[in-house]
Amino acid sequence: MIRLRDVSLKPAGVGQPVLHGMTLSIPQGEFRWLLGPSGAGKSSLLRLLTLGARPASGQMDILGTSVTGASRGALRNLRRRIGFVPQDYRLIGEWTVFDNVALPLRLRGRSEREIRQEVFSVLEWLDVAAYAHSRPTILSGGEQQRVAIARALIGRPDILLADEPTNALEESQARRLLSTFQELIDLGTTVIVATHNESLVREAPAQSIMLRDGTLDPQAVAP
């Protein structure tokens, strides 16, 4: 469950809030497209939802926890329940693909045996298992994107956020990814995908969050 009430986001050193008056509610296990022109605030909203920033004002509840007044420990536990596929992949270049993908499980204290099994399973599914012991820096954009997707999926998160997750994927891989998202939703995961890909949106019609100038475009919240 994600609930925002009159939330604004104002990064340090920026005069005007990049998000303001954000009020929305997404029940657990639902899918939303996050749409809007460049600079509308999609990445800022994802940053807020991945707990990369705290709201400047308003009330934000994620998975039953009030983010506004949460302790660092509570935020840390929440982060472990959120999977994120960033647009720039955000992989650690000095680590192997395996270590990058294994990280969320290691932070949860899972055994290396389990981790090995799960990491190879997801890497095989995304067709990048051959690069498990390579550094991500030698991979193509599409391969890096799949590694980032693997890292986001590996912990079976309660919330999955993705910023343009298909922009470097082939069409068939994009479709597979959409079907994976659907499987996760069936398992109770909330999925929010930011995209500019209109054909993808047409292929999987769902409710959208439309942003314009850092706030919700009320005309486009529901399709």
Partner 1 sequence: MSRRVSPGLRSGSLPLLVALMTLLAGLALAGLSGIQSLAAGWSQAARSAATIEIPTDIPNAPDRTDALVHALKALDGVTNIQKLSTDKVQDLLAPWLGQPVGSHKGLPGLSLPQVLIVAHAPGTDLTATVHDALPEAIVQEDLQWGQRLERLGTSLTGCAWLAVILIAAIVILSIGITVRRSVAAQKRAVDIVHSLGAADLTISSHIAGRAALLSFLGGIAGLILLTPLTTSLATTLSPFAHQSALPATFPTTLDGWWTTLSILPSSLLKELGALPLIAACLGWLTAQGVVLVWLRRLP
Residues that bind partner 1 (CB under 8 A): 50-54, 72-73, 75-80, 84, 90-92, 94-95, 98-99, 102-104, 106-107, 112, 116, 151
Measured from the CB atom, the residue of 92 and 130 that comes closer to partner 1 is: 92
Q: CB of 122: closest distance to partner 1 in angstroms? A: 15
Per DSSP, the three-state class of 7 is strand
Q: CB of 73: closest distance to partner 1 in angstroms? A: 8
User: By C-alpha distance, which of 17, 20, 16, 18 is closest to 7?
Assistant: 20
Q: Which amino acid type is present at position 126?
A: L
Measured from the CB atom, the residue of 21 and 52 that comes closer to partner 1 is: 52
Measured from the CB atom, the residue of 22 and 102 that comes closer to partner 1 is: 102
Q: CB of 84: closest distance to partner 1 in angstroms? A: 7
Strand ordering across the sheet containing 208-212: 82-85, 159-163, 190-194, 31-35, 208-212, 215-216
Q: How many CA atoms lie within 13 A of 94 on its CB side?
A: 0
Say which residues have a Cβ less than 8 Å from residue 199's Cβ, sequence separation at least 6.
none
Burial of 28 per CB tally in 10 Å (0-12, 13-18, 19+): middle
Q: CB of 107: closest distance to partner 1 in angstroms? A: 5
Measured from the CB atom, the residue of 54 and 212 that comes closer to partner 1 is: 54
Measured from the CB atom, the residue of 134 and 182 that comes closer to partner 1 is: 134
Angle between helices 141-154 and 112-125 in degrees, nearest 10: 130
Q: CB of 199: closest distance to partner 1 in angstroms? A: 30
